[in-house]
Structure 1
Amino acid sequence: MTFIPYKIKDDGKMKQLKKKDFKLEKELQSLVEENLKELFGITFLATEYSTGQRHGGRMDTIGIDENNSPVILEYKRNKNQNIINQALFYLDWLVDHKSAFELLVRDTLNKKIEIDWSSPRVLCIAEEFNKYDTYAVDQMKRPIELIQYRIFEDDLFALDILTAAEESKGNNKSSTNKDYSVEYHLKNGSERIKKLFDELRDFTLELADDVVESPRKFYIAYRIIRNFLCIDIHKEHLLIYLRIEPAEVDLEYDILRDVSEIGHFGTGDLEVRVESEDDIKLAKQLIEKAYDNSGN
């Protein structure tokens, strides 16, 4: 995907913005680390994290995402320069050293968090990847995401998601003994609720080709870069959590609730309770709004 950026000037005329470059790879890394939460919904844990003397590696950035899954970020200022092989090495190291990551989380955030090891992933960020890179990642079936960046004059920074990580399967090394799936969650719902879920699921996945469905322990998340929707399936209703500021919508609808100050499973501050077909139309409108709000 190629976008040519233009700035609209005060007089209504356009000026094409010129591409810029980072002088050093560290500039790219520092910029992303400073904005991890805004860009990817990731909480920063460490930079240049050592894999120890025996393995002799250093992960550029390591963090934990909004689903409490580990995320490694690797950067290259220009072309990929073997970044995918590094990603595989660090991903396998991380899965084999879970206790080290859990200790890092506890020491850095000063609290104990239940880590979701079903979907650790690596984000590879470079100025350019080629068709062989995307083909290789697709064939690997490993949770590696290729992201191209561009920086332009007037401080414009853009990302292009080339490949989104597939969720871990039972035969994937990064999987845990407990694999969560859509079917796992649907066991909780009645036949009526399953039909309502299927309708919302189909609608969500049709929003874009690269929407990722990510079943977790307590909910099913949908994202491209960040979660924009989480669905918690109950026997007689669905609880939908959306990345929407509650102040942006009319909370007079009985099925809507502001949960920004209320504990709940999933990400998002607006709750939609779906019990019947009558609730579907509003739910779809808000799902699309959350998708648009997330910058996807």
Structure 2
Amino acid sequence: MSGLKLFHTTKSGVTEVMPRLAEVEADVQGLVEAHMETLLCVTFLASEYVIDCVEGGRIDALGIDENGAPVVVEFKRGTAAGVVNQGLYYVAWLMAHKDAFRNLVRGRLGASAASQILWSSPRLICVAGDFTRYDAHAVREHRRSIDLVRYRYFGSEHIGLETVASVTGASVGTKRARRRAVGLSSVGRRDGAMAELAEAVDEALLGIGDGVTRVQRKQYAAYQRLRNFACVCPPQQTKLLVYLKADLKKVDLVPGFTRDVTGLGHHGTGDLEVQLRTPKDVERAQDLFRASYAAA
């Protein structure tokens, strides 16, 4: 467990709130499933989903994230011996049985959601009391999108979640690959300045902290640390739009630079729109990027 400690403050002093594991695995599973959208930004679909195959098996939970990607969630009360391999087995089954998942989404969320599933980026989220260093290493070497999330109860009313490792299945190493990933193949030839601006934003968001991954949808690129903290739309002729999950009460809106789009339709997630036109705007937006990342 990390060195983070929680204290309860009173007028007479402070008292440490000791962390603890769940009494049984079902306790943490039930809590996360009941509040999955708040805790993981994943819409809950099914619990203890029985898979139809020769070997058999039961997926702890199935969901779909805010980008439309299928999500397998596996739980362990304590140290997660074998949970990553077990979860990857279920992800492989899911990708081989897309109709079953599509029907599940259609039944819970409707035909529109079922038609927009992001099959290119299935995710595995493992929630456990702890992980070994071998788990973290294996995750970084794998081609799938995997999040290792450590939990702790604090007292009877609080639960903490900590992302131990997070990787995306899409490896974007070269400059050419990065340009394709953020929708710059044709834009770069037409407008070099906007292409460079988009690359600068991509590098700034990927390098903002640990565990940042990028998920590419047709309409936007989502940057996430377990959940989205920024969504970048393809460059327009004169500007690049970035949507953040910043606390709007703490943001001084500046016309032509930042805008509250709460309730307004747009691609991606987040209610703060940032309009970038020059490299100086990217520097100007760094504090907003960091605030959204910290809240993710």
Scaled by the length of structure 2, what TM-score is found? 0.88
Query: For 1:252-282, what per-residue CA distance to the aligned partner results, in whole angstroms no more than 9, with x for missing partners?
Result: 4223222222221111111112122353343
Amino acid of the structure 2 residue aligned with 1:259: V
Cα separation, 2, equivalents of 1:194 and 1:96 = 37
Counterparts of 1:133-212 in structure 2, within 5 Å, are: 133-168=135-170, 182-184=179-181, 185-189=183-187, 190-212=191-213
Structure 1 residue 212: Cα displacement: 1.3
Amino acid of the structure 2 residue aligned with 1:242: L
CA contact (8 A) 1:164 1:210 kept: yes
- Whether 1:36 aligns to 2:36 is yes
Structure 1 residue 198: Cα displacement: 2.5
Alignment partner for residue 121 of structure 1, among 120, 123, 126?
123
CA contact (8 A) 1:17 1:154 kept: no
Runs of 5+ in structure 1 lacking a partner? 171-179
Amino acid of the structure 2 residue aligned with 1:80: A
Change (3 A) 1:50 1:169: farther
Which position in structure 2 is the counterpart of 1:230? 231
Amino acid of the structure 2 residue aligned with 1:59: I
Structure 1 residue 18: Cα displacement: 1.7
Which position in structure 2 is the counterpart of 1:9? 9
Partner-residue secondary structure (3-state), 1:159: strand
Which position in structure 1 is the counterpart of 2:281? 279
Change (3 A) 1:249 1:191: same
Which position in structure 2 is the counterpart of 1:77? 77
CA contact (8 A) 2:43 2:64 kept: yes
Partner-residue secondary structure (3-state), 1:112: helix
Cα separation, 2, equivalents of 1:188 and 1:257 = 28
CA contact (8 A) 2:195 2:235 kept: no
CA contact (8 A) 2:122 2:144 kept: no
Alignment partner for residue 267 of structure 1, among 247, 254, 269?
269
- Whether 1:250 aligns to 2:252 is yes
Q: RMSD of the alignment, in Å?
A: 2.2
CA contact (8 A) 2:140 2:167 kept: no
Cα separation, 2, equivalents of 1:111 and 1:102 = 9
Structure 1 residue 55: Cα displacement: 4.3
- Whether 1:93 aligns to 2:93 is yes
Cα separation, 1, equivalents of 2:236 and 2:286 = 21
Structure 1 residue 220: Cα displacement: 1.3
CA contact (8 A) 1:181 1:215 kept: no
Structure 1 residue 84: Cα displacement: 1.9
Amino acid of the structure 2 residue aligned with 1:213: R
Cα separation, 2, equivalents of 1:280 and 1:216 = 22
CA contact (8 A) 1:79 1:127 kept: yes
Cα separation, 2, equivalents of 1:46 and 1:88 = 18
Please identify, of 278-287 and 45-54, the stretch whose mean Cα deviation from structure 2 is larger: 278-287
Structure 1 residue 203: Cα displacement: 2.4
Runs of 5+ in structure 2 lacking a partner? none
CA contact (8 A) 1:121 1:165 kept: no
Which position in structure 2 is the counterpart of 1:174? none
- Number of matched residues? 285
CA contact (8 A) 1:18 1:152 kept: yes
Change (3 A) 1:6 1:246: closer
